[in-house]
Amino acid sequence: MRRESIDVLVVGAGAAGLMASVHAGRAAGPDARIVAVDGARKVGMKILVAGGGRCNVTHHEVLPEDYAGSSRNAIRKVLRAYPVEAVVDFFAAEGVRLKREETGKLFPTTDRARTVLDALLNAVSSAGVELRHPIRIESIERRDDGFHVTGPGFAANAGRVVLCTGGKALPKSGSDGMGLEIVRSLGHSVTEAVHPALVPLILAEADPIRELGGIATPVRLSVRGESGRNIAEYTAPMLCTHFGISGPVVLDASRHLLSARAAGDQAEAFVRWLPEEDREGFERTMIGAPSGMTCQSMLKGRLPDRLLRALLHVSGVEPTDRVRGLTRERRRALLDVLFDHPLVVVGDRGYTFAEATAGGVPLSEIRLDSMESRVVPGLHLAGEICDVDGRVGGFNFQWAWASGWVAGRAVAATVGATA
C-alpha cells in the first residue's frame, strides 16, 4: 500500500483528539495537511454517553487537587494554559452555551451531549482537518523521515503525531488501551499500575447492602489504609445495588481504594451514614432521648426505611428497642455502624463500567508547554493516555480539552503557522 504523507496525524478522535485537531488546524492554516483518525465506527461515543447523555463538559472551578496521578504542579501547568473560561468561550463561539448546575458542573443548555459532539465535529471540519474512521492504528515507528503509522488499510508517513487514544474505560467506545501498547513500543514508560478509576465497587455476597438495591442516600465515604491512615474522603450520594455500591461518592473513592490496593496496601472503605452529624453529638442525643423513643423512631426520616432496618439489624439492635434502654455496648455498636461502617469491598466492576482510567504515561516524560514527548521528539500526547485522572464533575473532560489544546497549538507551530 502506498504510504501517504501527512504533516500532523492525530490518532484518536475523542475529546482530546478533537480539541487538538481543531486548534492544530486553525493555527496551522490551510497549507498544512492535518488528518485525524479514529478506530471506532461511531466517533465520539464517550462524549455522547457522558453525564447520562447530557455531557458534563467541565466544572466551574477546576483545581489540581481535583486530580490524581502525576504531580499536582505538572497538572496545574497544563490546566492553566487552557482554563475553564477558555473552554466556555470556545463552546460559546461554536454555538454551545453552557449552564452551571448547583453542584458546579457545567452542561450544555440543551441538556444534550449531541450538541457538544456536533460542535466539535463542525469545528474540526471548518479548521480544515480531515477526520477519517474507522481506522485503527496498530503501530507507530519513529524513522529518519518521520513517523511510520500503520493499521489495517492505512499507511502514512507523518511529520508529527498527536496520540490521543485515551485509556481503557468503556472499551466498546474504541478506548481499549492500544495506545498504551504503542507508547511503550516507542520507549515510553507507563505507570506500573493502570486500573479503572471512577468505577462501581462489588461487596461480599453476604453483605446486606446488596439487598438494598435502588436505595440512594448521601454519605461520607472514607478510604483508609491498613495502618488506619485516611487516604481519601468524599461526601455525596451513594447508590446501593445488587452487586454492591455505586453513585458519585463511590466512583470518586474507588480510584483511591484501588490504587492503594494495587500498591499492596489492603485499604478498606468506611461509610458514615449520617454525613451531617458527628458521632459525639449523636451519642449525646441518644443518651438524652425521650424515655419512650425507639431506635427506629429516632432514625426515621434520617435514613431511608429499608436501609435503617438493615443497619439496626447489622448492629444487633431491634427497631423497637428503646434508645434509653440500650446498654453502653449496644449503643456503641449502633454508633459504630452509623458512623464508621466498614464495607467488605471484594472487587470493582472493571473497565466496562468505569468512567476513567488511573495510570498512563507520566507527565514527567512530557514537555508541558507543548505536550511533546521527552522520549520521542515529534510525538505529542493528550487526554486520558496521560497519567492524570479527575474526580466526577467534568474534570476529566477539562483535562482532555486543556491538554488537547496545548498539543494542537504546539504541533501547528511546527508546520509553519501562526500559533
| Selected binder of ligand FAD within 175, 241, 259, 315 (CB under 6 A) | 175
Distance from C-alpha of 331 to C-alpha of 84, rounded to nearest angstrom: 48
| Selected binder of ligand FAD within 69, 166, 360, 408 (CB under 6 A) | 166
Answer yes or no: are the C-beta atoms of 108 and 54 closer than 8 Å. yes
Binders in 333-362 for ligand FAD, by CB under 6 A = 355-356
- Kindly state the smallest distance separating residue 399's Cβ from ligand FAD, in Å: 7
x/- mask, ligand FAD, residues 383-402, rule CB under 6 A, reads: xx---------xxxx--x--
CB proximity list for 368: less than 8 A, separation 6 or greater: 74, 77, 78, 406
Cβ proximity to ligand FAD, 165 vs 315, nearer residue: 165
- Kindly state the smallest distance separating residue 201's Cβ from ligand FAD, in Å: 16
- Kindly state the smallest distance separating residue 258's Cβ from ligand FAD, in Å: 16
- Kindly state the smallest distance separating residue 13's Cβ from ligand FAD, in Å: 6
Answer yes or no: are the C-beta atoms of 387 and 362 closer than 8 Å. yes
- Kindly state the smallest distance separating residue 180's Cβ from ligand FAD, in Å: 9
- Kindly state the smallest distance separating residue 122's Cβ from ligand FAD, in Å: 17
- Shortest CA distance to 303 belongs to which of 311, 294, 314, 315? 311
- Kindly state the smallest distance separating residue 403's Cβ from ligand FAD, in Å: 8
Cα of 14 vs its chain's centroid, Å: 14
Distance from C-alpha of 297 to C-alpha of 284, rounded to nearest angstrom: 16
The one-character DSSP state at 364 is: G
Cβ proximity to ligand FAD, 18 vs 238, nearer residue: 18
Question: If binding is defined by CB under 6 A, does position 136 make contact with ligand FAD?
Answer: yes
- Kindly state the smallest distance separating residue 136's Cβ from ligand FAD, in Å: 4
Cβ proximity to ligand FAD, 132 vs 374, nearer residue: 132
- Shortest CA distance to 83 belongs to which of 105, 119, 59, 55? 59
- Kindly state the smallest distance separating residue 119's Cβ from ligand FAD, in Å: 15
Cβ proximity to ligand FAD, 113 vs 298, nearer residue: 113
| Selected binder of ligand FAD within 74, 84, 116, 178 (CB under 6 A) | 178
Binders in 36-65 for ligand FAD, by CB under 6 A = 37-40, 46, 49-51, 55-56
Cβ proximity to ligand FAD, 315 vs 398, nearer residue: 398
The one-character DSSP state at 384 is: G
Alpha helices by DSSP H, listed for 29-147, are 45-53, 72-81, 84-93, 113-126
Which H helix or E strand runs over 401? helix 395-414
Question: If binding is defined by CB under 6 A, does position 115 make contact with ligand FAD?
Answer: no
Distance from C-alpha of 43 to C-alpha of 408, rounded to nearest angstrom: 19
Cβ proximity to ligand FAD, 161 vs 299, nearer residue: 161
- Kindly state the smallest distance separating residue 124's Cβ from ligand FAD, in Å: 13
- Output the DSSP codes for 276-296: TS-HHHHHHHHHTS-TT-BHH
Answer yes or no: are the C-beta atoms of 411 and 395 closer than 8 Å. no
| Selected binder of ligand FAD within 9, 16, 123, 251 (CB under 6 A) | 16
Question: If binding is defined by CB under 6 A, does position 82 make contact with ligand FAD?
Answer: no
As a three-state string, the secondary structure of 135-171 is: CCCCEEEEECCEEEEEECCEEEEEEEEEECCCCCCCH
Please report where in the chains the cell 428503646 appears, as a residue. Answer: 322
| Selected binder of ligand FAD within 6, 14, 68, 147 (CB under 6 A) | 14
Query: Residue 301: is it exposed, middle or buried by C-beta count within 10 angstroms (0-12/13-18/19+)?
Result: exposed
Residues that bind ligand FAD (CB under 6 A): 11-17, 37-40, 46, 49-51, 55-56, 136-137, 164-166, 169-170, 173-175, 178-179, 355-356, 383-384, 394-397, 400
